[in-house]
């Protein structure tokens, strides 16, 4: 059964990659034409994203890279910013 969720209920959700790495927290969503087109992910202290970005505050992840939304948000590993050394095939 498909469960509907309000966009406001997704704020501060923990974000994980499909590989299981903690990525950050949902800060905001980008809504265009009555649908979500992207997610602003905030880099938190213990997140993989904060190690990759250094001093930047976060990234925008296109909604196409979101795998699931529930108690957490699961995103594709392809959302990892390039230059991180964690791209496919470099494990």
CA dihedral sign, ordered 78, 81, 9, 72: positive
Contact 39, 61 (CB under 8 A): yes
Predicted pLDDT at 8: 86
> Of 90, 87, 35, whose CA–CA distance to 66 is shortest?
35
Predicted pLDDT at 49: 82
pLDDT tens digits for range 7-31: 888 899 999 999 998 999 999 999 9
CA–CA distance, 59 with 47 (Å, rounded to integer)? 13
Q: Domain boundaries in the chain?
A: 8-79
Is pLDDT of 3 > 70? yes
> Of 63, 64, 80, whose CA–CA distance to 16 is shortest?
80
Contact 72, 16 (CB under 8 A): yes
Q: Which CATH number fits domain 8-79: 2.30.30.240, 1.10.10.10, 2.40.10.480, 3.30.565.10?
A: 2.30.30.240
pTM to 2 decimals? 0.79
pLDDT tens digits for range 42-79: 998 888 888 887 777 889 999 999 999 989 999 998 88
């Amino acid at each position: 059964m498909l469960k509907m969720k309000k966009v406001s209920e997704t704020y501060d959700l923990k974000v994980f990659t499909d590989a299981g790495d903690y990525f950050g927290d949902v800060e905001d969503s980008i809504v265009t034409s009555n649908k979500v087109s992207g997610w602003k992910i905030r880099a938190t202290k213990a997140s993989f994203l904060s190690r990759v970005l250094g001093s930047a505050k976060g990234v925008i992840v296109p909604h196409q890279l979101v795998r699931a939304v529930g108690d957490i948000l699961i995103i594709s590993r392809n959302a990892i910013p390039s230059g991180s050394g964690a791209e496919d095939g470099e494990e």
